[in-house]
């Protein structure tokens, strides 16, 4: 079998029985078995991108020990018109370097409409150290990787922005990353809890054109010191009518009110302590 393109010559909507049989034999020859994640990926790679036998073998070699989620991300790339056989093969190394712990953000980004090889490359550059690990040096590479990593709450914010904010583009998602990395844990928790598809800021719907600005607003607000007070605030906000708990202006105002109460209580406690010392 020198060319796999002939395998998936379609008859109406589906491949012929002989084509499926030919592909199965080819896959099994690579130790890739029906029902496995790599089998489904290879099937998409050949069917959607008309990959050659050589390119298919390269894909299977490079995806050895890939997790199911990593394989699903590659499968999504195979569905996108802008990705060629070469760009898909080139992306395998970056997906492997990206690691398993942060795949939530990569999956969210790849799911966006309009993702092309150049935007995926930019996303990866934003999240991975620049340059090769060997030439950069292990310590320097690890340091830059750590600086670019988001914690779990921040990753969830990115995921929710990509999935809940209407019309988010790859460009907006990438530009939001530096600000998301600076989010404090409480603020990330609030955003993840209350951000919905129909959220607003006062009377303006939160969309592609203002989500980055909204994230920037949180960076100017401190956290509540008392964790119990913060938990009570979340509970109170959760009981509010939909119109209020989906309005981030209302949420931010409520948070600032709690911060002011906390400051007053702290000041009153200091005065009380001073009086006790003087008595």
The pLDDT value recorded for residue 5 is 54
Residues of the chain with pLDDT > 70: what percent? 87
Mean pLDDT of the chain: 87
Instruction: Collect all residues with Cβ–Cβ distance below 8 Å to 13 and sequence separation of at least 6.
Output: none
What would the mean pLDDT of 207-223 be, rounded to a whole number?
95
Confidence of residue 2 (pLDDT cuts 50, 70, 90): very low
Could you report the per-residue pLDDT of 113-148, keeping only the tens digit for each?
999 999 999 999 999 888 777 777 888 888 888 888
Could you report the per-residue pLDDT of 8-47, keeping only the tens digit for each?
444 334 455 555 677 888 888 888 899 899 999 999 999 8
Helix boundaries (H) for the chain: 17-29, 37-49, 53-62, 68-79, 85-98, 103-110, 117-127, 133-136, 138-148, 152-164, 170-180, 185-194, 211-218, 227-238, 242-245, 248-278
- The yes-or-no verdict on residue 160 having pLDDT over 50 is yes
The pLDDT value recorded for residue 264 is 76
- The yes-or-no verdict on residue 276 having pLDDT over 60 is no
Confidence of residue 268 (pLDDT cuts 50, 70, 90): very low
Could you report the per-residue pLDDT of 41-81, keeping only the tens digit for each?
999 999 889 999 999 999 999 999 999 999 999 999 999 98
Confidence of residue 248 (pLDDT cuts 50, 70, 90): very high
**Pick from 12, 11, 46: which is nearest to 26 by CA?**
46
Rounded Cα gap, residues 158 and 174, in angstroms: 10
The pLDDT value recorded for residue 250 is 96
Q: How far is CA 87 from the centre of its chain?
A: 20
Rounded Cα gap, residues 101 and 69, in angstroms: 11
The pLDDT value recorded for residue 144 is 86
Instruction: Collect all residues with Cβ–Cβ distance below 8 Å to 127 and sequence separation of at least 6.
Output: 98, 102, 105, 106, 148, 149, 177
Instruction: Collect all residues with Cβ–Cβ distance below 8 Å to 159 and sequence separation of at least 6.
Output: 104, 105, 107, 108
CB distance 82 to 51 below 8 Å: no
Confidence of residue 3 (pLDDT cuts 50, 70, 90): low
**Pick from 113, 112, 120, 109: which is nearest to 84 by CA?**
120
φ and ψ at 10, to 5 degrees? -85, 145
Helix boundaries (H) for 181-247: 185-194, 211-218, 227-238, 242-245
């Amino acid at each position: 079998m020198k060319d796999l393109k002939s395998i998936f010559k379609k008859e109406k909507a589906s491949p012929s029985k002989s084509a499926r049989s030919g592909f199965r034999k080819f896959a099994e020859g690579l130790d890739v078995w029906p029902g496995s994640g790599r089998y489904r990926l290879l099937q998409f790679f050949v069917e959607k991108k008309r990959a050659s036998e050589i390119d298919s073998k390269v894909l299977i070699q490079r995806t050895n020990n890939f997790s199911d989620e990593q394989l699903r991300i590659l499968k999504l790339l195979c569905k996108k018109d802008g990705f060629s056989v070469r760009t898909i093969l080139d992306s395998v190394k970056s997906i492997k370097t990206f690691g398993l712990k942060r795949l939530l953000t990569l999956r969210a980004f790849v799911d966006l409409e309009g993702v092309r090889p150049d935007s995926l490359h930019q996303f990866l550059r934003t999240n991975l150290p620049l340059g090769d690990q060997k030439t950069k040096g292990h310590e320097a590479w690890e340091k830059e990787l750590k600086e670019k990593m988001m914690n779990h709450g921040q990753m969830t914010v990115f995921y929710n922005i990509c999935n809940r904010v209407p019309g988010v583009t790859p460009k907006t998602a990438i530009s939001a990353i530096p600000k998301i990395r600076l989010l404090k844990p409480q603020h990330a928790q609030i955003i993840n809890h209350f951000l919905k598809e129909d959220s607003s800021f006062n009377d303006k719907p939160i969309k592609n054109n203002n989500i980055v600005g909204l994230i920037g607003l949180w960076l100017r607000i401190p956290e509540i010191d008392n964790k119990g007070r913060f938990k009570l605030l979340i509970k109170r906000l959760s009981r509010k009518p939909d119109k209020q708990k989906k309005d981030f202006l209302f949420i931010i105002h409520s948070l600032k009110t709690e911060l002011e109460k906390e400051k007053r209580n702290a000041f009153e406690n200091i005065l009380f302590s001073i009086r006790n010392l003087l008595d």
